[in-house]
Amino acid sequence: MSFFKLTIAEDAQEKRTQSYQNLQAILGALLIVLTLTITSGFWYLLVPHDVNWNASQSIMVLHLAAGLCSTIMFMVFFFLHLKDKKVQWWQFLTPWRIKRKESANKQQWQQRVLGAILTWLLLGALLTGLYITFPAISFHFGTVELHGYGLQKILNACHQSLSILMVPVFMWHMLWIVLKR
């Protein structure tokens, strides 16, 4: 039994289906991995590195591993969630084309638009994070590929800004159903 009702499934029969159970399991795993990623990222950002250099590097490795797991889990959840809602994948990649149908509930339409914004923020944070780690990955494969200093600073600023924006949008999107009007 969960503390929050994080689904719009009202029918008890629908909640017993295997696809619903799978979606809830993946949602739980995604929430854990995203929480670990966000927490370790904010730790690395806010705690001075000279306090304990080894702990700082351990947190960075944890952040990288959790970020990679988040990327994989997000892709799985994204497509299963779209299948569950019977929505085409391109609708979330083009939020300006999400139209409100007259028969649709206003809250569901707003939730869909908020989900599209969250998808873009999450994809932006994940892609900038992967691009930031490219020099380290290339080093482990025996080549040296570095970004310029300016590009690295821009990527870090984008990654941090997208992550900071993502947290309240993510919380609002997840708790929307609890806060029904």
3-state secondary structure 65-120: HHHHHHHHHHHHHHHHHHHHHCCCHHHHHCHHHCCCCCCCCHHHHHHHHHHHHHHH
Average pLDDT for 149-174: 90
Model-level pTM? Answer: 0.76
- At residue 55, what is the residue type? A
Domain-ending residue, one of 86, 115, 146? 86
Residue 128 host element (H or E): helix 106-140
92 and 79 fall within a common domain: no
Give the range of the structural domain holding residue 107, as residue numbers without chain letter. Answer: 87-181
80 and 146 fall within a common domain: no
6 pLDDT above the threshold of 70: no
How far apart (Å, rounded) are the C-alpha atoms in residues 49 and 55? 8
Average pLDDT for 139-143: 87
56 and 124 fall within a common domain: no
How far apart (Å, rounded) are the C-alpha atoms in residues 101 and 147? 46
Per DSSP, the chain holds a count of helices (H) and strands (E) of: 6, 0
Q: How many domains does the chain have?
A: 2
How far apart (Å, rounded) are the C-alpha atoms in residues 43 and 62? 11
Which tens digits make up the pLDDT trace of 15-48? Answer: 667 777 777 888 888 889 989 999 999 898 888 8
Domain-ending residue, one of 27, 53, 86? 86
Asked if residue 3 is part of any domain, the answer here is: no
Domain-ending residue, one of 43, 66, 86? 86
Which tens digits make up the pLDDT trace of 90-129? Answer: 666 676 666 666 556 777 777 777 888 888 898 899 899 9
How far apart (Å, rounded) are the C-alpha atoms in residues 98 and 112? 8
